[in-house]
């Protein structure tokens, strides 16, 4: 779990998406993403992984870089 993921859990979010179809779609989107974070003046370019969180009324999807750890909500 990422630092932002831990914050979400502390705020009452639970890991995962409420809807399996949304989870599949978002996971497919993230599978095609590459990290744009700048590391030593260069674009990281690492593969992103999907990390979802939800409450009964809210959903947060994170894309997390497998190389540098950059977290991005999308």
The 10s digit of each residue's pLDDT in 11-64 is: 999 999 999 999 999 999 999 999 999 978 899 999 999 999 999 999 999 999
Q: What is the pLDDT of residue 40?
A: 82
Q: What is the pLDDT of residue 74?
A: 84
Tell me how long the chain is.
74
Q: Please give the Cα distance from 40 to 15 (Å, whole number).
A: 32
Cα–chain-centroid distance for residue 50? 5
What's the domain range around 58?
Answer: 3-73
Q: What is the pLDDT of residue 8?
A: 97
CB atoms inside a 10 Å sphere around CB 31: 12
How many domains does one find in the chain? 1
Q: What is the pTM of this model?
A: 0.86
Q: What is the pLDDT of residue 32?
A: 95
Q: What is the pLDDT of residue 21?
A: 96
Q: Please give the Cα distance from 51 to 30 (Å, whole number).
A: 9
């Amino acid at each position: 779990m990422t630092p932002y993921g831990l914050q979400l859990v502390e705020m009452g979010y639970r890991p995962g998406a409420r809807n399996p179809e949304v989870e599949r779609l978002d996971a497919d989107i993230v599978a095609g993403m590459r990290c744009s974070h700048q590391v030593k003046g260069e674009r990281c370019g690492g593969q992103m992984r999907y990390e979802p969180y939800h409450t009964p009324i809210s959903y947060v999807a994170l894309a997390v870089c497998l190389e540098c750890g950059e977290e991005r909500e999308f």
